[in-house]
Amino acid sequence: MTASPEDATPRSRAHVRLEPLRIPSGWMIGINSLDDDLHSETGGICGTVLFLAWNEGRRFKIEIGCEPELDPNGSFLMTVVYQPWPRTDRGRRRKDLPFEFDENVQTVHTFETRSYRGLLTELEQWIERCTMWTREGN
């Protein structure tokens, strides 16, 4: 299916339905499928990943999906993870390595709900918290 020219404009149906989230600078949005169609309390239309954002400077990632996937009785599931800084033998941060989430990632918060509005409130609170939170010293 080919997208119409209207889909590429800010007034397209795909753009207008997106939730107006408050996201400060520093965040990268990889996936955002949070739109008005979801406010009917999951309704069995959830995909594997609805929202994915990460903040490289603060080393957090937030992911939202549905569990179980495509189940009308499922819930929204939000997971917040933190990637610790790689360290030298002396314990100092290594800033020379490319940033990636690896096997050392730590889950710092999970939230499960059937309420779409509750999910959005929780998401914005955690984006704000992770924007300012420093989990490790130098």
Q: What is the per-residue pLDDT across 23-35, written as a single tens digit (0 to 9) for each? A: 899 999 999 888 7
Tell me how far apart the alpha carbons of residues 59 and 62 are, in angstroms, rounded to a whole number.
Answer: 10
pLDDT surpassing 80 at residue 69:
no
Residue 134 is classified by DSSP as -
30 in a structural domain? yes
Cβ–Cβ < 8 Å for 53, 28: yes
41 in a structural domain? yes
38 in a structural domain? yes
116 in a structural domain? yes
86 in a structural domain? yes
9 in a structural domain? no
Q: In what order do the strands lie in the sheet with 28-32?
A: 28-32, 51-55, 60-67, 75-82, 106-113
Domain range spanning residue 92? 26-132
Number of domains in the chain: 1
pLDDT surpassing 60 at residue 45:
no
pLDDT surpassing 80 at residue 134:
yes
Tell me how far apart the alpha carbons of residues 130 and 109 are, in angstroms, rounded to a whole number.
Answer: 11
Lowest mean pLDDT among 25-34, 41-50, 66-75, 128-137: 41-50
Share of the chain residues as helix, strand and coil, in percent rounded to the nearest 5: 20, 30, 50
